[in-house]
Amino acid sequence: MEKNRLEAFSDGVIAIIITIMVLEMKVPHGSNLPDLLPVLPVFLSYVLSFVYIGIYWNNHHHMLHTVRRVTGGILWANLHLLFWLSLFPFATGWIGANHFSSAPLALYGAVLLLASVAYFILQQTIIASQGAGSILKKAVGRDVKGKVSPLLYAAAIPASFYEPRIANAIYVVVALMWLVPDRRIERALGAAEG
């Protein structure tokens, strides 16, 4: 299989995930600004999840540029990642509908944690398939953000039951951490081409 098909399929699934999330936002009854207040938690959960899906889409796109040949292992690892990403609409809807309460926040953290693990597995599968000179391996290096993020998600899950605001803060901090542009793959690809 060509990597373009893998990328197109993944892009399609991610687009559907975002579409499902936005469809969960119901139009409020009433035409005044205060009528929007009941849907604010749903909107905020959507914004947070949209940012996360965007981060995954962006990093996935860059990572696939390093792939020379798609293997069966890469296909399955990619499907594994897409499975966890496909649970975002459910987890997003649950935290929004329940105003960021404990159990929904813990589930949201579990989905974030398992998506990050699936991303790591896909990354390692690509590196293993590309051999010793893997561009991706050179690009990720020590991957501090990739190692810290799952630890923070794991800390946020029990924090959800202790103090939900701590879990919320952790999810926002990790998203902000990943919003900072990461040019490692672009630099590694440029070095390999030059």
Which run of H or of E encompasses 83? helix 72-86
- What confidence category does residue 133 fall into, taking pLDDT thresholds of 50, 70 and 90? confident
Whether the pLDDT of residue 36 is over 90: the answer is no
Query: Which residue range(s) make up the domain with 149?
Result: 3-193
Number of structural domains the chain divides into: 1
pLDDT in tens, 67-123: 989 999 999 999 999 999 999 999 999 999 998 999 999 999 999 999 999 999 999
Mutual angle of helices 40-64 and 72-86, in 10-degree steps: 170
pLDDT in tens, 142-151: 889 999 999 9
- For residue 169 the two structure tokens come to 């803060």
Residue 175 neighbours by CB under 8 Å, 6+ apart: 48, 51, 52, 55
